[in-house]
Structure 1
């Protein structure tokens, strides 16, 4: 009897490529445009691709650019591996929605919880941008995928795909909530009550010796 094949698992490159494909499908942007206008300039800035272009002819530069586009197309088609050094820069040029989902999945693959560092206001270093509006959008996405909760219970009769979608939306919102809590504390020094209470609890830092 033939052994069952192992299910394909996500890799860092597959997560990035899938998010890029979803972005291209949602926006109608072409792979060529993505490579030319987003990816290649960012890779050049980061020093990850370099043709040694000082003093070269325009035709040489165009040919080099076309080779870069074809390489990106082959990566997207899974015909050639996505270079590990490209992954962070590649994610950085995706629109925020797709960039954040990539970051969440890559963190999860390392056993980590994705919580972005706060974005500081350019005018006042001690201030941080509020992102309640983003949390509101994420809550709307939770409600839009809340069908499994409509009968008041979760059980084995719930549609597994619908439950997975709800779990994913809840997890995304949780990441934004954690970030906003950090935003407030870093800008104002005010922490949630539970943190202050736990910090002063006699149980804080207590380690019981093994029996």
Structure 2
């Protein structure tokens, strides 16, 4: 069994988006990815096509380039990773980001989104995301249905439950960080010690 790579994660989430939208690889490559890479300074600045023929050639070239990455006939450029993810809708970004960070042994911890309240620091509540993440974890809990986890559980079901569980933990932790940041109340020492792996 081959190990799942970062390219696999990004391509999988991009393909899922294509399957549930009107977007195609060709349109994505030229209308989103090339634009994002240019804006980030990762490729030469895009020039306005001089005519229709130049526009079509450029669009086809980007489509072929991204298709080679999709089909693993060309390596995925590491420096493209976050720019590529920024081109995906939020739900697909979140799923890919959580899995990529889990591969690195990290939780998806975000800086709280601060909101403008005059004279008072405040962080935006995102409890809906926590509820959604917990719901997706429960929906993926097929391995728990017989009351035990063992070798008879489907590896695909187990992997899905692990991924959704990690996303639920990340969403909950991010909400606690926002709560602590906005209210000025410290996170419990026990929680911080456990996250750092320190003895209590």
Summarize deviations over 1:49-84 as a string: whole Å, max 9, x none: 225738x73357513343223212222222222222
Q: Is the 8 A contact 2:38 2:45 kept in 1?
A: no
Aligned to 1:26: 20
Corresponding residue for residue 11 of structure 1: 5
How big is the alpha-carbon RMSD for the aligned residues of Structure 1 and Structure 2? 3.0
Q: TM-score, normalised by structure 1?
A: 0.77
Q: 2:76 aligns with which of 66, 74, 82?
A: 82
Structure of greater Rg: 1
CA distance in 2, matches of 1:16, 1:57: 33
Cα contact 2:26–2:62 (8 A) shared by 1: no
Whole-angstrom distance in 1 between the partners of 2:42 and 2:192: 46
Q: Distance in 2 between matches of 1:73 and 1:119?
A: 35
Q: What are structure 1's unaligned runs of at least 5 residues?
A: 1-6, 200-204
Matching of residue 174 in structure 1 with residue 169 in structure 2: yes
Q: 1:202 maps to what in 2?
A: none
State how far apart, in whole Å, the 1-side matches of 2:151 and 2:7 are: 33
Structure 1 contact 128–187 (Cα < 8 Å) conserved: yes
1:189 aligns with 2:165: no
TM-score scaled by length of structure 2 = 0.80
Contact 1:51 1:64 survives alignment (8 Å): no
Q: Secondary structure at the match of 1:39?
A: helix
> What is the total number of aligned residue pairs between the two structures?
194
- Residues 142 and 169 in structure 1, CA contact (< 8 A), matched pair in contact too: yes
Tell me the residue number matched to 2:51.
58
SS in 2 for 1:57: coil
For 2:106 and 2:190, how far apart are their aligned partners in 1?
25
Match of 1:3 in 2: none
Distance 2:109 2:133 in 1: 15
- Does 2:127 match 1:132? yes
Deviates more, 1:63-72 or 1:149-158: 149-158
Secondary structure, counterpart of 1:127 in structure 2: strand
Q: 1:103 aligned to 2:92?
A: no
